[in-house]
Amino acid sequence: MRVRYTVAGKQRRDKVLKRAKGFQGSAHARIRVAKETVMHAMRYEFRDRRRKKRDFRTLWIARINAYVRASGMTYSRFIEGLNKAQVRVNRKVLSVLCVEDPEVVNKYIELAKAKAGK
């Protein structure tokens, strides 16, 4: 006799449907559609964990650039000046400083202007 609804099978289906919770249409209720949708979601999840790092770095650079341009300097010249001055501050910290402690960033800008020659 063929057993169709075993405990292990139910657990397997429940696991898929739990991950599909919140999906639209039949994707959150029907196992065949839910399985495919969850597989796609897992692929995006994997990809986007790496993309998130890129996105945040882009955001930090945009914030720094906006603040530095207000002081009459470009982002690339600012980073060049900091590198020549051998100042090692990552973009995340600089971005937070631009928002929370502008006086410190102004000192970095003056240092970078002196070292960049502009």
How many distinct structural domains can be found in the chain?
1
Domain that includes residue 78, residue range: 7-116
Instruction: Tell whether pTM > 0.85.
Output: no
Output the tens digit of pLDDT for each of the chain's 118 residues: 787 778 989 999 999 999 999 999 999 999 999 999 999 999 999 999 999 999 999 999 999 999 999 999 999 999 999 999 999 999 999 999 999 999 999 999 999 999 887 5
- CA dist., res. 3 & res. 113, Å (int): 77
**CA distance from start to end of the chain:** 85
User: What is the predicted pLDDT for the residue at 118?
Assistant: 53
Q: Please report whether residue 2 resides in a domain.
A: no
Domain CATH number, residue 97: 1.10.1900.20
Q: Please report whether residue 24 resides in a domain.
A: yes
- CA dist., res. 74 & res. 23, Å (int): 45
- CA dist., res. 51 & res. 43, Å (int): 12
User: What is the predicted pLDDT for the residue at 111?
Assistant: 93
Within the chain, how many helices (H) and strands (E) appear? 5, 0
Report the amino acid identity of residue 90.
Answer: N
User: What is the predicted pLDDT for the residue at 24?
Assistant: 95
Q: Please report whether residue 1 resides in a domain.
A: no
